[in-house]
Amino acid sequence: MPYLKSLLCLLLISVTIISQAQNTDSKWIAEISIGPSFPFGKYKSKDYKDSTAGFAKTGIGASISFGYRITDRLSVHFIAGEALNKQDEEPMAKRMAGFSYGSSRTEVHTKSWNTGKLMLGAGMQLPLCKSGKFSSVSKLSAGICKTAIPAFTGETYNSNNIQGGTFSFGKIPLPWTFCYQINSGFNMQLSKKIYALTDLSYFNGRPVHHTQRNYTLNPGGPFTPVDIKYSLASLNIQAGAGIRF
């Protein structure tokens, strides 16, 4: 996860500098978490006839956040996250088989959707017991996300299982687009400053692929502009740790 590596280094440096500069309890918060990412809807769809189907499989997501407590219960935060969801090869092979005339079998090797997100938002923390050791946390965030249609390669085979040809398609970067996320979770205080966390979140963004298609039998066109809108809807379950400094 290349995006998160740089952001994690920046987060650790910031926490170290601020922690050493303050002698009293601070209202700053830093968190890191990781867990499975479950796509659904069009993102998960295996309908190879639907150009907006993402073929995404269950993957892994991670996030880091940097926040400030306005009060004991209210806070604002910045979240950076990344998710990897491999494309399902079976529906992609069925889609490409429609273009492989004269072949009896098509095999495809896919890459992963790699989605990065940068968001700002607000959260609320409510104690679940008098000691304050356990608390519930709710967050609402919005921002921008970036992804690309994954690259893939493949081969075609004839009825004698002899390879007839190969094909290769590179990844197609999609523009930055608006995204949002809704979080709900629990914190367990481990010490005065450190706590463990669990988090359930819904994330979605709708990037658009601006392309052109030829609906005629003439190889030279005309070509018609087409906008293909994808969905990145996913349910994410993460666990991690946080620190107040």
**In contact, 89 and 112? CB cutoff 8 Å:** no
**Residue with token string 């070509």:** 223
Helices (H), the chain: 2-21, 89-97
* pLDDT > 80? residue 219: no
**In contact, 73 and 14? CB cutoff 8 Å:** no
Nearest to 180 by CA among 115, 134, 226, 117: 117
Q: Which two tokens stand for residue 78?
A: 């910045």
**In contact, 96 and 167? CB cutoff 8 Å:** yes
Domain spans, the chain: 2-244
Q: Which two tokens stand for residue 29?
A: 């918060």
Which tens digits make up the pLDDT trace of 22-34? 445 678 999 999 9
Indicate the residue type of 38.
F
Task: Tell me which of 79-83, 221-225, 227-231, 235-239 is least confident.
Answer: 221-225
How is domain 2-244 classified at the CATH fold level?
Porin (2.40.160)
Distance CA 157, CA 141 (A): 48
Residue 163: count of CB within 10 angstroms of its CB: 12
**In contact, 43 and 11? CB cutoff 8 Å:** no
Which tens digits make up the pLDDT trace of 146-156? 999 999 999 98
